[in-house]
Every structure is written in structure tokens, then in C-alpha cells.
Structure 1
Amino acid sequence: MPRPKDAFDGIYPCEFYTPEELLDRDQMYTIREIARLLQGLDPEADVDEGTEAVLVDWAVPWVMVNAADLVIGEPPTDEDPGYYGLRTDGDD
């Protein structure tokens, strides 16, 4: 159910990192690692399963919106996750 804005103690701009601000240009990241980075956490931070699910829910749309600025690495095996990185001039 919608709530009036004045029902909140504070409201803030909805701003997200750009890929250039978030990702190291020489590294590739899983969705779970990107999710942590979007929250200002270390990509290897230990978070509980419920929190991780929420973080991933935010990270997937971020990857989709920023797809033009990203590259995808082939997973090492069929069981491994995909990896995403910052698109650079030398990437095809």
C-alpha cells in the first residue's frame, strides 16, 4: 500500500554507482560480489542468506541497466557463476 512522503523520517535521492565508480577495470565479478559492492561492502564480505538475496535483487537490474558498459566472462565450468567486468577500449 502506498504511503505519503511525510510518513518517513527522511527521504533521499535514489542514486547508484556507475560501473566506472564501482568496478576495478582489471577485475571480473560475480553478481553476488557486485551486490556487495553496491552496498559499500567488500566483495567477499560474509552476509546471511536473506540479506544476500535482497542485495542480489538490487544487483541484477543494475547489471541489466548498465549492460552497455560491461563485459561478461565465460564461467570456468557449467557449475560456476558468470563474471562481469567493466568494458574497456580493448574489449570486443
Structure 2
Amino acid sequence: MPRPKSDFEQLHPCDFYTAEELLKTDQMYTVYEIARLLQGLDPDAELEAETEDILLDWAIPWVMNNADDLVIAEPEADDEPGYYGLKSDDR
């Protein structure tokens, strides 16, 4: 249910990293790894499932918003996530 803005002590701008600021040009990342990076965590950080679900709420819109700057690679198996990386001239 929506809440009034006055319920919150502080409101922050909704600024996200650009794809170039977040990702290394020679690496491909799963959406789970991107979710961790958006929070300043190591891409391999261990998280509880509930925490990871919350972080995905940030990562999925970020991927969609930055889609023009990204390339996609197929997952290695049907039950695994795909990979995202920066577009580059060499590939």
C-alpha cells in the first residue's frame, strides 16, 4: 500500500551507476552479480536468499534501463541465469 512521503525521515535521489561505472569491459555478469555490485558488494558475496531477492528488485530495472549499453550471453544451462556485459567495439 502506498505511504505518504511525510512518513519517511529522509528521501534520496534515485541515482544509479551507469553501466560503464559498474561493469568491467572484459567481464560478463549474471543479474545476481550485478545486484551485488549495485550495493557495493563483491560479485561473489554470499547472501541469504531473502536478501538476494531484495537486491534483484534493484538490479532488474537497472539492466533494463542500461540495455542500450549491454550485450547478453546465453546461460550455460537452462536452469542458470544469462550473462550481461558492456558493449564494446571488439565484440
Residue 56 of structure 1 corresponds to which residue in structure 2? Answer: 56
* Structure-2 residue corresponding to 1:79: 79
Q: Where does residue 68 of structure 2 map in the other structure?
A: 68
User: What's the offset of the Cα at 1:43?
Assistant: 0.5
Q: Give structure 1 stretches of 5+ with no counterpart.
A: none
**In the aligned structure 1, how far is the partner of 2:12 from the partner of 2:80?**
37
- Tell me which moved more, 51-60 or 76-85: 76-85
The CA RMSD measured in Å over matched residues stands at 1.4
Whether 2:22 is the aligned partner of 1:45: answer: no
Return the offset for 1:56: 1.0
Runs of 4+ in 1 over 4 A off after TM superposition: none
Corresponding residue for 2:29? 29
TM-aligned CA deviation for residue 64 of structure 1: 1.2
Please give the residue correspondences for 1:11-22 in structure 2 after superposition, counting only pairs within 5 Å: 11-22=11-22
1:59-83: CA deviation from partner (whole Å, max 9, x where unpaired): 1111111111000112223333211
Per-residue displacement from partner, 1:13-61 (whole Å, max 9, x unpaired)? 1101100000011100001000111111111111111010111122111
Return the offset for 1:2: 3.4
Distance 1:23 1:7 in 2: 35
TM-score, structure 2 length as denominator? 0.89
| Counterpart-to-counterpart distance in 2, 1:29 and 1:86 | 10
